[in-house]
Amino acid sequence: MPESIVPPDSNVPQLDPEDWESFRGLARQMMDDVVDHLASVGQRPAWQPLPDDVREALREPVPREAHGAEATYRVFRERVLPYSNGNTHPRFWGWVQGSGLPIAVLADLLASGMNPHLAGLNQAPRFVEEQVVAWIAELMDFPKTSSGLLCSGGSMAGILALAVARHARAGFDVREQGLQGAEHPTLTLYGSRETHSWATKAVELLGLGRRSLRLIDVDDAYRVRVDALRQAIADDRRAGRRPFCVIGTAGTVNTGATDDLEALADLCAEEQLWFHVDGAFGAWARIAPALRPMVRGIERADSLALDLHKWMYLPFESACLLVRDADAHRAAFATSAPYLGAGERGVSAGGFPLADRGVELTRSFKALKIWMALKTHGVEAFADMIEQNVGQARLLVEQIEGHAELQLLAPAPLNVVCFRYVAHGSSEREHHALNQELLLRVQESGFAVPSSTWIGERFALRVAIVNHRTRAADIRQFVERVVGLGRALSAGPKIPNTQD
Ligand SMILES: *Cc1c(COP(=O)(O)O)cnc(C)c1O
């Protein structure tokens, strides 16, 4: 032992609180502050820029000496807490970012306090996760025998799903042989042009390459053209390539469109292809009686990726992968190692089954917040809230259609609305500049946070409502604000187009 090592039981600072009672005081303070923060979220700006001095102050040397918990917490409250991207606010509708349920905040505290290791093992949390996955499978009408795993997000769920599909349908042992070398036919897979960018990351990461992902044209409703898909598969087969998977989307990120999942399921059955559905947010239409028909066919998928941190309003990160064939799921990831044996009894009884369903070994107790939120509120409350969000999107569409200066840019079948302000006699380029500026001013005013996208050649303001705090009045006020800003901007001097 080197001479300088700290001897056992010497008088070094402890990492647990020296005084649990004063820790309890700080804990209560934090809890009060979090509750106040949540209860007053609508009274603050949806977003505010991070002041330069605050950003500067966040750049600090490594804290080699102790600052203490109280002082550290004060810094957090001052410099971090007020400056988030705003998705807990009732008028945040950017990208697809859920609003976060208070009960889940407490669940995350409990989960961290308990700090179990979720690779499996003989412990209640493992069964809580398995129960949560089984509930989600039931809600999606997947068979009882299906498998699943909680993961960080829809992207990770999709990447894992394609890894399972690749292993199950490559026609050779991908895990053993990899994809290097020319002895195998090129594997190809399919999605629509509207497929989310996670799929590109997935094919790059899985060694399939971007060329393997065929992005098929969509119809006027932004759904994949099944005839074109069928043709692309036939062309690839004729050229000696090996189609193995079709990705359907329930709720595209751009416009909320849902592919004809029944038709895709039929096609995959005929062609013997793996059918994956990306239902990051749209899958949850399944639990709402009025929306359920839109995602008909989702229950026929071989794998389904869905987020809980979007349209189930849970805090980040929480998503779920479902795989119909439990053996195929396990076969894609299971490994063994001498230090990971399963015992007959004791802590290791049951082994590490959750580590065998994905790439992570150490996993957190994400299941608890889902379990607590579902039990606290009941599934019907979520179904109602989802329908209410769709109702709010329809209200926004009505308001847009009732306004000569606003233009809807794509059908809005679900909770995503793409539109713009139109100034009479303006060119496309001028519309882009005006709406870009309008978007930034709405955000910078702190009033609301929409995001943007392109619908073909048109720059769109994009509102995606996965927010349990939004009310109809928020939508109406937002429309007034957009029209007011649009008028002010189009009356003022021309806005330089930043893309020029
Ligand atoms: C958000 C989204 C994803 C990615 O999910 P993350 O949870 O952000 O990783 C994938 N597909 C669609 C349709 C999405 O909306």
| 343-391 pLDDT tens trace | 899 999 999 999 999 999 999 999 999 999 999 999 999 999 999 999 9
pLDDT value, residue 144: 97
Cα 300 to its chain centre, rounded Å, is 22
The phi-psi region of residue 151 (left if phi > 0; otherwise alpha if psi is between -120 and 50; otherwise beta) is: beta
| 267-298 pLDDT tens trace | 999 999 999 999 999 999 999 999 999 999 99
Ligand 1 centre from 313 Cα, in Å? 14
Cβ count within 10 A of residue 210: 11
Q: Ligand 1 pocket, 154 CB below 6 A?
A: yes
Cβ contact 417:396 at 8 Å: yes
Which of 96, 308, 320 has most ligand 1 atoms within 8 Å of its beta carbon, as the pocket-test mutant? Answer: 96
Ligand 1 centre from 218 Cα, in Å? 19
pLDDT band at 12 (very low <50, low <70, confident <90, very high): confident
| 304-319 pLDDT tens trace | 999 999 999 999 999 9
3-state secondary structure of 247: strand
Ligand 1 centre from 422 Cα, in Å? 30
Q: Whose CA is nearest to atom 15 of ligand 1?
A: 253
Both tokens assigned to 244: 């193995």
pLDDT band at 500 (very low <50, low <70, confident <90, very high): very low
Backbone angles phi, psi at 338, to 5 degrees: -60, -30
Q: Is the pLDDT of residue 4 over 90?
A: no
- How far is Cα 313 from Cα 107, in angstroms, rounded to an integer? 14
In angstroms, the first-to-last Cα distance of the chain is 67
- Return the ligand 1 atom nearest residue 155 CA: 9
145-155 in b/e burial notation, b at 16+ Cβ within 10 A? Answer: ebbbbbbbbbb
Q: What are the residue ranges of helices labelled H in 16-153?
A: 20-39, 52-57, 69-75, 102-114, 124-139
For residue 140, give the nearest of 284, 251, 268, 259 by alpha carbon: 284
- How far is Cα 272 from Cα 244, in angstroms, rounded to an integer? 8
Ligand 1 centre from 137 Cα, in Å? 19
pLDDT value, residue 2: 59
Q: Is the pLDDT of residue 492 over 90?
A: no
- How far is Cα 316 from Cα 292, in angstroms, rounded to an integer? 25
pLDDT value, residue 497: 65
Q: Ligand 1 pocket, 120 CB below 6 A?
A: no
Which of 247, 253, 255, 320 has most ligand 1 atoms within 8 Å of its beta carbon, as the pocket-test mutant? Answer: 253
Cβ contact 149:160 at 8 Å: yes
Mean pLDDT, the chain, as a whole number?
96
- How far is Cα 149 from Cα 328, in angstroms, rounded to an integer? 13
For residue 140, give the nearest of 326, 411, 324 by alpha carbon: 324
Ligand 1 centre from 262 Cα, in Å? 22
- Return the ligand 1 atom nearest residue 156 CA: 9
Burial class (CB in 10 A: 0-12, 13-18, 19+), 102: middle
Q: Is the pLDDT of residue 422 over 60?
A: yes
pLDDT band at 424 (very low <50, low <70, confident <90, very high): confident
Cβ count within 10 A of residue 92: 30
Cα 360 to its chain centre, rounded Å, is 18
Q: Is the pLDDT of residue 10 over 90?
A: no
Alpha-carbon dihedral 348, 351, 354, 359, rounded to 10 degrees: 100
| 162-206 pLDDT tens trace | 999 999 999 999 999 999 887 899 999 999 999 999 999 999 999
Ligand 1 centre from 209 Cα, in Å? 20
Burial class (CB in 10 A: 0-12, 13-18, 19+), 338: exposed
| 22-41 pLDDT tens trace | 999 999 999 999 999 999 99
Order of strands, sheet of 274-278, starting from the edge strand that comes earlier in the sequence: 147-151, 319-323, 303-307, 274-278, 242-249, 187-192, 213-216
Cβ contact 165:276 at 8 Å: yes
Q: Which residue has the higher pLDDT, 236 or 428?
A: 236
Ligand 1 centre from 347 Cα, in Å? 36
| 46-102 pLDDT tens trace | 999 999 999 999 999 999 999 999 999 999 999 999 999 999 999 999 999 999 999
Q: Ligand 1 pocket, 153 CB below 6 A?
A: yes
The helix or strand, by DSSP H or E, that contains position 269, with its residue range, turns out to be helix 261-271
Q: Ligand 1 pocket, 253 CB below 6 A?
A: yes
